[in-house]
A and B are shown apart, each in its own frame.
Chain A
Amino acid sequence: MSIDKTQELVLNMGPQHPSMHGLFRMVVHLEGETVTHIDPKLGYLHRGMEKLAESRTYSQFIPYTDRLDYLASPHNNWAYVQAVEKLMGVEIPERAEYLRIIFGELARIASHQVCIASTALDMAGWSAWSYAFRDRERICDMYEMTAGSRLTVNIMRIGGMSAEPPEEFWPALQSFLDDTPEMLEEYYGIFFGNEIAMGRLKNVGILTKEMAENLSITGPVLRASGVDFDVRKAEPYSIYDRFDFKVPVRTGCDSYDRTIIRMDEIVESIKIIKQAVRDIPGGPIMAKVPKVIKPPVGEVYHRVENPKGELGFYIVSDGTTKPSRLRIRPATFINLQMLPIVAKGWKIQDVVAIFATLDAVLGEVDK
C-alpha cells in the first residue's frame, strides 16, 4: 500500500440508513470524503406490482397503484384509470375531470412539500421539515374527508371518481389556497433563502441539459436542467388544455434549482386549482361503465405528469376481465439512474443532498 494515496473506503449506505428514503441502498466508494464511485442497489421494496396486476381485475388493481408513488397516490390512480378508459373508449363526465384535476394538483403540492421537507431534513434543517409536513397535513385532511384515507387515497375509479367531495371540502380547499403564499414564503425564509442551504445546494450535482436528455430524465429534475418538457403541455391529457398555466423551467442544472423548481410548480398548481374551482360544473361524477370491466382486445400506453416525472401505464388486454400484461414506467426509477453519474466527485454530504433532490420514492422505484 502506497502512503501517498488515501486508501479507498467502501461504505455501505442503506437500506437502513437515516438519509435513505425508503429502502434504497448504495455502495459508496470514498477517497477521504470524496465519492469516486456509487453503486446503487435496488429491489428491497419489490412487490411484483406488474405481476400482481395480471391476477387482479381491472378495478381491483386501482388500490395497488396507490402503493407505487405513495406521496402522490391520486396521480397513480389517474394514470391507470385513464389508460383503462382509453382502452375501453369511455368518456367521463366533466365534473369528474375537474375533480381529478383538483385532486391531482393537490397531490402535486403535497408531494412537492414532502420533497422540500426531505431535502431540508437530509441537510438537518429540522424546522423546515416540520413546517412543510404541517402544511401537507391539510391536504391529507382533504383527502381524508373525501376519500376516507390520508395516504393511499384510492380516489379514482374507471369511469370517474369514487366519491363526491363533502360540503366541508370546499371551504377547506379555499382556505388552503389562500394560505399557500404565506407557506411558500416561510419555506423560502427558513430554507431556500438560508445561506448555508444555498452553499450546500448551489452549483452542486450538475446535471447538464445533454445529460438529462440522454438519461431520459423527466419531471422537475429535467425542467431544472433547462428543458421545457411537461406531459401536461406536450401531450395534454384529461382537460389540461383548458387551463392557463406555465411550465416552470430553470437553467441552473444544480441541486438548488432541482429543489426550488418545486416551489414554482406549487405556485402553478395553485393557479390550476383556482381555475378548476371557478369553472367546475355540476353533474354526475361517474360515467356509465359496465359493472364487470372487460376492455376489448388491444394494447394501450398512457402517460401522465406525476409530481416526480412521467408516469406511464402500458396495458395489454386479451378481452378478459384481467389484464394480460401490465407494465409501469415509473418516473423516479428512471430519474435515479443519474445519481451515480452526477454524484461522482462530490463529497458524501452532497451525495445525500443530490439524492434528496431527486425526490425518489422507493415504492415507485422498486414497484
Chain B
Amino acid sequence: MFGKGLLQGLGITFKRMVGPNITEFYPEEKPNLPIRVRSSMGLEKDKCISCNMCAMACPNSVIKLTSEKNEANKKVLKTYHMDVGRCLFCGMCAEVCPTKALKVTQEFENAIYEPEDMQWDMIKRAERKGKVE
C-alpha cells in the first residue's frame, strides 16, 4: 500500500525522538580517548638518544633536532623542534623511536591563535604545567 513506507519512517523517527540521546557533552565532559590516539606528540628528553630516526621517518620533515656530545662521548639532545603546521599526525616518528622517548599523547586541544605557535619546542613543551602524560 502506498504510504506504508512513510508511516514506517515516521515511526522510526518517533522512536528515536523519545529514546535516549547519544550526544557527548564535550567541553563539560572530556572524552576518554584510547591510549593510542595520535593527537599530539610528547617527548621525554632523558630517554632520547638523538638517533634522528624520527626525523628520517617523517614524511614531511617536520622534526628538526640537534645534539651535542657530552664528556662520555655520548650524544645528548640539545634542541628538538616540530613544525606542526606540516605534521600529518601519522605517528610514524613515535613508531620508529627505539627508546620510546617520543610518544603519541591524547592532548587534542591544540588550537592556537598565531601561526608562529605551530613551531613546537618539544623540550619546553614537555616541561610545561598541566601536561597530559
Contacts and interface: CB of A to CB of B under 8 A. Distances in A.
Contact of B13 (A163, A190, A195): A190
Contacts, number: 74
Given A59-B92, A163-B36, A186 B12 contact: yes
A195 B6 contact: yes
Q: Give the interface residue-count category, chain A.
A: 20 to 34
Contacts of B6: 194-196
B13 A127 contact: yes
Given A60-B92, A61-B59, A154-B90, A145 B13 contact: no
With a 10 A CB-CB cut-off, give which of A144, A189, A191 has the most chain B CB atoms. A189
B59 A148 contact: no
A149 B89 contact: yes
B25 to A, nearest CB: 16
B27 interface: no
B12 A189 contact: yes
Contact of A193 (B5, B13, B34): B5
B22 interface: yes
B2 A195 contact: yes
Nearest to B33: A144
Q: Give the interface residue-count category, chain B.
A: 20 to 34
B57 A162 contact: no
B2 to A, nearest CB: 6
B57 A190 contact: no
B92 A189 contact: no
Nearest to A66: B90
A162 B34 contact: no
Contacts of B9: 189-191, 193-194
B3 to A, nearest CB: 7
Nearest to A64: B59
Contact of A56 (B4, B16, B59): B59
B75 to A, nearest CB: 19
A234 to B, nearest CB: 32
Contacts of A148: 34, 36-38, 91, 104
B34 A166 contact: yes
Contact of A127 (B5, B8, B16, B34): B16
B127 interface: no
B67 to A, nearest CB: 21
A56 B95 CA distance: 17
5 contacts: A144-B34, A148-B37, A148-B38, A152-B90, A190-B13
Interface of B: 2-6, 8-9, 11-13, 16, 22, 33-34, 36-38, 57-59, 88-92, 95, 104
